[in-house]
Amino acid sequence: MAYLPMKESVVTRTLKNSAAGTVGGIGVVLTGHPFDTLKVRLQTQPVAKPVYNGLADCFIKTLKWEGFGGLYKGVGSPLVGQMFFRATLFTSYYQITELVAGSSRNGQHLKAYEYFLCGSATGFIVAFVEGPIDLFKTKMQVQIIQTKSGQSHTNYRNVFHAGYSIMQQHRLKGAYQGIIATCLRNTPASGIYFGFMETVKHHFTPASGGAPPKWAVFMAGGTGGFFYWFLTYPTDVVKSSMMSDATELSKRKYSGYIDCAQQIYKEGGLKNFFRGFTPCLLRAIPANGVMIFLVDQCRVLLGT
């Protein structure tokens, strides 16, 4: 629960929230990355000549062509990056809630709509941290699709090689391919995530005070994660499509966010915005439940 500390320095709170977010980042990656790999591949495969016929086919072919490790393709970027990203996410979120609450409501819960607003502000800020992490991961995850469909592409050895190559050739701008799409997804989605998560935790918090049950914390994270994706999924399809596009500007299929959305619609109508929806929802509850549970328990242990 986003309680506001009574007497603790900003530096101490930041370090504690960063530590909790780091642990949560490890948990969410290890739990959810296989589902994310399937999601991204289903989102970005060619519509005219699809490599996979559905979720089950994608799973089977991934194991057949790449072994179990194929499900964790590109995991290096999110595992290292998510530790930093989640540390930034939760540190930013709890600091923003403190600013919104001010000194007059120290130790009290915010109102429901305030959690949504704080989450939205957090989502926009951390999009600039998450963007490059997502980009390098996506470049690795879609290589098998490009290979099987006969598309020309750069063969990256791993996510770190992808990041190094992109940065070397295109500087910092190259790492932020699709950043507008990331911001347009993250801002409402993070508001939804934290809003629902905090609402559920508050509902199960005893009226007499204290912490909600551990199972309620897991359920709160799962609920927030579910609605994060359920209500904003089409924006993620656009983001993944833009990130999987050619790194070289002159070779890109999409000229911008609107053009990308229009082309996705022309290729398959509204249903095209829900490619990979099933593995995404399958991932949402356990991965986010684990993350919030770990973050919450770490904050309790650290006395935050």
Long-range contacts of 94-98 (CB under 8 A, 24+ apart): 94/2, 94/13, 94/17, 94/304, 95/10, 95/13, 95/14, 95/17, 96/121, 96/122, 97/2, 97/4, 98/4, 98/5
Greatest pairwise CA separation for the chain in angstroms? 63
State how far the Cα of 276 lies from the Cα of 119, in Å rounded to an integer.
Answer: 25
| pLDDT digits 0-9 by tens, 271-280 | 999 988 988 8
pLDDT band at 254 (very low <50, low <70, confident <90, very high): very high
* Mean pLDDT of the residues in the chain: 85
Count of beta carbons in the 10 Å neighbourhood of residue 298: 19
Under 8 Å between Cβ of 288 and 29: no
What letter would DSSP give residue 256?
S
| pLDDT digits 0-9 by tens, 45-58 | 887 788 888 888 98
The interaxial angle of helices 159-175 and 112-141, nearest 10 deg, is 120
Sorted by where each starts, the structural domains of the chain and their CATH numbers stand as: 10-301 (1.50.40.10)
Cα 184–Cα 281–Cα 259 angle in degrees, nearest 5: 35
State how far the Cα of 136 lies from the Cα of 146, in Å rounded to an integer.
Answer: 15
| pLDDT digits 0-9 by tens, 191-239 | 999 999 999 999 999 887 778 999 999 999 999 999 999 999 999 999 9
State how far the Cα of 256 lies from the Cα of 234, in Å rounded to an integer.
Answer: 16
